[in-house]
Amino acid sequence: MLVADRYRLHTVIGRGGMGEVWHAQDEVLGRPVAVKVLLNDVADASAEARFRLEAQTSARLNHPNVVGTLDFGTWEGRCFLVMELVDGGSLAAELTGGGPLHADRLAQVAQEAAEGLAAAHEQGIVHRDVKPGNLLSDRHGTIRIADFGIARFVDDPSAGLTTTGQIVGTGLYLAPERAIGTPASSASDMYSLGCVLYQLAVGHPPFEADTPTALLYQHVDAPPVPPHQRGAALPPAFEAYLLSMLAKRPEDRPTARQAADWFRSGAWRGAPEPLPPELPDAVEPYRQAGRRNTGPGRHRGT
């Protein structure tokens, strides 16, 4: 199947709520690419606008830790997006295929994912769906952030909830402020990355529950169990920094740039820096908001 007289589709390598991703060949430049095609059954005006926004958002980013956008267009009435082909798998596959990651590999993942997020944040872009399936690892082990399909610019007033009151993102990695309906920020991405790193270190996310509502309340109220209590062999400094990424208050989390620099420096190998004592009411605004919001927005996971 030839898309736009240029991209020959070979095999499906991924499928999501909006589209399917194909391993393809660019017959003009003679190189392998990934082509994401909008599904026919969701190809309404809203889906097309979101698909186009994904292309425009990712095209603004030119960074070795972000999957690059190469082309965008329409073909037989369907939108398509051409991206770099990452010759490897996602971190979701690494979780499925083996146990927790060694601290050295985890630090590399943390640094490179934070580098990619810093590039996005410096362009005013919030990813809003950082999760293992959106962090790709190429054949050299380099981390590449993918799928800016629900990303928003930080000054976009629609960045928190959709018009139907749905919380956008994946519940296992959703920041506390997102759980109570506050618009996404760069700090929300860092919380999500912290959840991913915790899962890669321990083998499961910091919070799990039987229902989406219970899961959201855990993000708001429950402190994460320190990884070493769940068998993770992380240096004390690494564990302390990871827990700081899971702070309930956005302002208490490191920025993506700070995290990238910290992991690159090798400081994660040492002893933790002393932290100020936590104030008893530090998370109370989120707890109160969560209690008032007895029915958190209907969650839409991917």
Task: Please pick, among 26, 41, 104, 129, the residue that the annotation labels catalytic.
Answer: 129
Q: Is 162 helix (H, G, I), strand (E, B) or coil?
A: coil
Residue with tokens 């095209």: 59
Query: Helical H runs in 34-139?
Result: 45-59, 91-97, 103-122
User: Number of helices and strands (H, E) in the chain?
Assistant: 9, 13
Q: Is 115 helix (H, G, I), strand (E, B) or coil?
A: helix
Tokens for 298? 């209907």
96, amino acid identity? T
> How many Cβ atoms from other residues are within 10 Å of residue 268's Cβ?
24
The answer to whether 155 is a known catalytic residue is: no
DSSP state of 31: E
> How many Cβ atoms from other residues are within 10 Å of residue 10's Cβ?
12
- List, by residue number, the catalytic residues: 129
